[in-house]
Amino acid sequence: MIGRIFGGLPPRARLLGAALVAVLLLVPLVADRYVVSVLVLVFAAAYLGQAWNIMMGFAGQLSLGHALYVGVAAYAAAALYVHFGIGPWAGLFVGMALAAAFAAVIGFLGFRFGIEGVHFALLTIAFAEFTRIGFDHIAWTGGAGGFFIPVSQVQFDLLNLRGGPTMWYYVMLVLMLAALALCRYLTRSRVGYYWLAIREDPEAARALGIDIFRYKMIAVVLSAAMTALGGVFTAFYYNNLFPERVFSINSSIDLILAPIIGGLGTLMGPIVGAFILTPVGEALIGVLEHLGLAVPGAKQIFYGLVLLAIIWLRPDGVWPWLARRLGVADEDRR
Amino acid sequence: MPFDFYVNLVSTGVLNGLVYGLMALGLSVIFGVIRVVNFAHGEMAVVAMYAAFVLFRGFGIDPLVSMVPIAAGLFALGYLLQAGLINPFVGRAEHEQFILLVGVAIILVNGLLMLYGPDARHADVSYGYDSFEVGPLLLDKVRVYAALAAFAVAVLLFLFFRFTRTGTAIRACADNLVGAAVIGLDVKHLYALTFGIGAACVGAAGALMILLTDATPMLAPSYTLLAFTIVIIGGLGSQSGALAGGVLIGVSESLASFFIAPSMKAMFSFGLLILVLLFRPQGLFGRRT
C-alpha cells in the first residue's frame, strides 16, 4: 500500500510535498487564531472535494446531491450524541453506513435504469431536496429550526470532538492528507484504472469485460461514505445544523467548487482549489468590511466570477498548469 | 360541499401550473435546440420578478403590461449570454456547461441580494383580492389573468416555431445541426435567438409570478429545480409537454399544500420527478429518442 501511494512520484514532488506538510504542521505554532480557523475551512473543503472527486473526477458520474450524504451523516451522529450521549466516533459509523445506504439506492436506481449525465445529476438533486424537506419536518432533530450540539469550552477532547481551533486544525489536516493518500492509492490500483476506463468510454470499458455497474456502485458508495465522514466532522466543528443550509443545492455546489477550480480528476486539484477559493473569499470579505462595503452576496458574486474565469481560461483547472510550472507534472493528470 | 372545494383546489393548481409551464417552456426550448441545460433558469425568473416589482412600485405599471418589456429585456440578456458566453461551450462536456451556467446563476441571484436584500417583495395590484365566481368555482382574478397571459405567450411561441421562417430554421438546427449548417443557416445566431426566446418565456413567466407570490432572491434555486422537474416530467424538448407538466405540478402542489402541509408541497414534485426519471425517462409526454 505504501508503495502504491509514494511510488512513481518524481523526487521533486516528494520534496515539495514533504516541505508543504512540514510547513502546515508548524503553522498553528506561529499563526494567530484567525489564520488557523481559515485553514480549518480550507482542509475541510479539500477533504470533501476529494471525496466528490472520486465520483465525478475518477468515475465520471456527475453528482449534484452530495449535500445529502453530508447531511444524513451529520444529523445521525449529532442526534446520537445529543439524545443518547453516544460519541461521534461511534456515530461516525452509523452516519457513514446511512450515507452509503442512500448512495447505494441512488446509484442502483440511476445505473440500473440507465440514467446518465444531466439526468443522473438531477436524480441526485431530487433525492437531496426530498430529504431536505423531510428533515424540515422531523421534530426529533429540531425540524426547520435547526439542531444544536452543546458548545463546550474544552480545548482538547478528541474522543468527543470538542476542542479549540488548534485541535480542529490537526484533525482536518489529517483528514485531508488521509483522503489524498487513499485517492492516490485508488488511482494506482485496479479499481482506479477501471474507473478511468468507464469515465473515458463506458462502452469500450464494457467491451473489455469491466463490470461497469459494479465499479460505478463502488465509486458512488465510497464517495458517499467519505463525504459522510466529512459531514460528521464539520457538524461537530460548527455545532449547528439546519436542513435549509446542510441539504440545499447550494451546499452541494459549494462542495464541488474546490475540485473543479483545482482540476477535476486530479489528486491535488481539490486541495489546490480549496487553498485558492477559501482564503481569497475570506480576504475579500475582510477587505470589503474594512471599506464598509460588506453586503451579503458579495463573496458569492466573487465565487461566481471565479467560476466563469476558470471555466473560460483553464477548463482543466489550476493544478495541471501549476504542476507543469512546478516541474512535478506526472501521470497525476489522468 | 367538499366536492366544490376539491374543484377549487384543482383549478387553482391548474392556473398556477400554466404560469409554471411557461417558465418551464423556456427551459425546454433552450435544451431542445441548443442541448445546453440552463442552470440559471430560476435565477432569470426571479430577475424578471424583481423587474416587475420595480416597474410596479416605481411607475405603477401592472405586471400584465410590464411582462412585455420585461420579456424583451430578458430576450436581450439571453441573446447576449448565448452569443457572448455560452456558444463556445456548445458541444463541450456537460459539467463544463453546468459550471458556466452555475457561475451565471450565482452572480444573478447574489446581485439581486446585494441590490434588494433578502426581504420578500410583493406587488399589491388593485384587483389582488378580487375573484371570479363561475358556478361553484371561486377563482382569484390575479391567477386567472396570469394563467391566460401565460397560455397566450405559449400559443404565440408555438405559432412562431410552426409558421415563421426563423422558427422553422431553429427547428432545423434542433433536428439536424450539420444539415442546418450545410444549407447555410447561421447556427450561432439562431442559437442566440433560441436562448433569447427561452429567456423571454421565463421573463414573461417571472413577471406573472409576482402576481402569485412574493419575490425573494432565495426563490431562485427552487425555481430552477421546479422548471427542471416540470420539463423532465413533461418530456425534455416537448413544448406541449412542458405546459402539461406545469399544470400537473401546479395541481400536485395545490393538493399537497392542503392535504399535507404547504411546506411539503415540493416533496411531492421531487417524488414525482424521481418516479418519472426511473420509469419514463423520456417524460410523460415525450418520445424516446
**pLDDT tens digit sequence for B119-130:** 898 888 888 888
pLDDT at B56 over 80: yes
pLDDT at B213 over 70: yes
Length of chain A in residues, anyone?
334
For the segment B28-56, the average pLDDT, to the nearest whole number, is 93
Whether A301 sits inside 8 A of B110 (CB atoms) is yes
* Chain B residues inside the 8 Å CB shell of A113: 277-279, 281
What sign does the CA torsion over A308, A312, A313, A318 have? positive
At A110, the amino acid letter reads: G
Asked if B242 and B60 touch (Cβ cutoff 8 Å), the reply is no
pLDDT at residue A157 in the model: 86
Per-residue model confidence as pLDDT tens digits over B72-116 = 999 999 999 999 999 999 888 888 888 899 899 999 999 999 898
pLDDT at A330 over 70: no
Separation of alpha carbons B187 and B177, rounded Å? 8
pLDDT at residue B264 in the model: 82
Separation of alpha carbons A161 and A88, rounded Å? 7
Q: What residue ranges do the domains of chain B occupy? A: 21-219
Phi, psi of A67 (to 5 degrees): -55, -30
What sign does the CA torsion over A90, A93, A99, A104 have? negative
pLDDT at residue B288 in the model: 56
pLDDT at A218 over 50: yes
Is residue A130 within 8 angstroms of chain B, CB to CB? Answer: yes
pLDDT at residue A102 in the model: 97
Residue (of B13, B64, B53) closest to B216 by Cα position: B53
Separation of alpha carbons B184 and B157, rounded Å? 24
**Residue A191, in any domain of the structure:** yes
- State the residue for C-alpha cell 371570479: B132
Instruction: Please give the share of chain A, as a percent, with pLDDT higher than 90.
Output: 63
Instruction: Please tell me the number of Cα atoms within 13 Å of A174 on its side-chain side.
Output: 8
Identify the top-confidence range among A217-226, A277-286, B5-14: A217-226
**Residue A310, in any domain of the structure:** no
At B177, the amino acid letter reads: L
* Chain B residues inside the 8 Å CB shell of A118: 37, 94, 98
* Chain A residues inside the 8 Å CB shell of B100: 307-308, 311
pLDDT at B1 over 70: no
For the segment A278-295, the average pLDDT, to the nearest whole number, is 81
**What are the Cα distances from residue B78, in Å, to A167, A309, B30?**
49, 19, 10
For the segment B152-177, the average pLDDT, to the nearest whole number, is 91
Is residue B277 within 8 angstroms of chain A, CB to CB? Answer: yes
Mean pLDDT of chain B: 90
Separation of alpha carbons A220 and B103, rounded Å? 26
Is residue B270 within 8 angstroms of chain A, CB to CB? Answer: yes
Position with higher pLDDT, A13 vs A182: A182
What sign does the CA torsion over B90, B94, B100, B104 have? positive
Separation of alpha carbons B107 and B251, rounded Å? 32
Cβ neighbours for A54, distance < 8 A, ≥ 6 positions apart = A183, A186, A219, A222, A223, A226
**B27, B81, B110: best mutation site toward chain A, by most A Cβ within 10 Å?**
B110
Identify the top-confidence range among A189-193, A299-303, B112-116, B260-264: A189-193
pLDDT at A333 over 50: no
pLDDT at residue A8 in the model: 80
Residue (of A265, A258, A259, A264) closest to A187 by Cα position: A265
Smallest CA–CA distance, residue A155 to chain B, in Å, is 37
pLDDT band at residue A332 under the 50/70/90 scheme: very low
Asked if B67 and B131 touch (Cβ cutoff 8 Å), the reply is no
Per-residue cell: A324: 507543469
ipTM of the complex: 0.84
Separation of alpha carbons B181 and A222, rounded Å? 45
Smallest CA–CA distance, residue A298 to chain B, in Å, is 7
pLDDT at residue B283 in the model: 83
pLDDT at residue B287 in the model: 66
Number of domains in chain A: 1
Asked if A296 and B113 touch (Cβ cutoff 8 Å), the reply is yes
Separation of alpha carbons B203 and B200, rounded Å? 5
- State the residue for C-alpha cell 426547520: A144
Q: Could you tell me which chain B residue has the CA closest to the CA of A244?
A: B218
For the segment B42-59, the average pLDDT, to the nearest whole number, is 95
Domain of A42, in residue numbers = 2-247
**B46, B89, B107: best mutation site toward chain A, by most A Cβ within 10 Å?**
B107
pLDDT at A117 over 60: yes
B76-105 residues touching A, CB cutoff 8 A: 85, 89, 92, 94-96, 98-100, 102-105
Which range among A48-52, B24-28, B82-86, B172-176 shows the weakest confidence by mean pLDDT? B172-176
Separation of alpha carbons B13 and B140, rounded Å? 12
Cβ neighbours for B160, distance < 8 A, ≥ 6 positions apart = B166, B167, B197
B108-147 residues touching A, CB cutoff 8 A: 109-114, 117-118
For the segment B128-136, the average pLDDT, to the nearest whole number, is 83
Asked if A64 and A121 touch (Cβ cutoff 8 Å), the reply is yes
Task: Give the count of Cβ contacts less than 8 A between chain A and B.
Answer: 118
**Residue A175, in any domain of the structure:** yes
pLDDT at A331 over 70: no
* Chain A residues inside the 8 Å CB shell of B98: 62, 118, 121
**Residue A72, in any domain of the structure:** yes
pLDDT at residue A31 in the model: 87
Candidate from A125, A297, A303 with C-beta closest to B114: A297
pLDDT band at residue B37 under the 50/70/90 scheme: confident
Residue B138, H or E segment: strand B137-140
Asked if A67 and A75 touch (Cβ cutoff 8 Å), the reply is no
* Chain A residues inside the 8 Å CB shell of B95: 56, 62, 260, 264
Mean pLDDT of chain A: 90
Query: Which string of DSSP letters, residue by residue, matches A143-161?
Result: GGG-EEPPP---SEETTTT
Per-residue model confidence as pLDDT tens digits over A54-74 = 999 999 999 999 999 999 999
Asked if A251 and A67 touch (Cβ cutoff 8 Å), the reply is yes
pLDDT at B289 over 60: no
pLDDT at residue A288 in the model: 83
Cβ neighbours for B130, distance < 8 A, ≥ 6 positions apart = B140, B141
Query: CA gyration radius for chain A?
Result: 20
Smallest CA–CA distance, residue A270 to chain B, in Å, is 16
pLDDT at residue A229 in the model: 97
Cβ neighbours for B189, distance < 8 A, ≥ 6 positions apart = B83
* Chain B residues inside the 8 Å CB shell of A114: 281
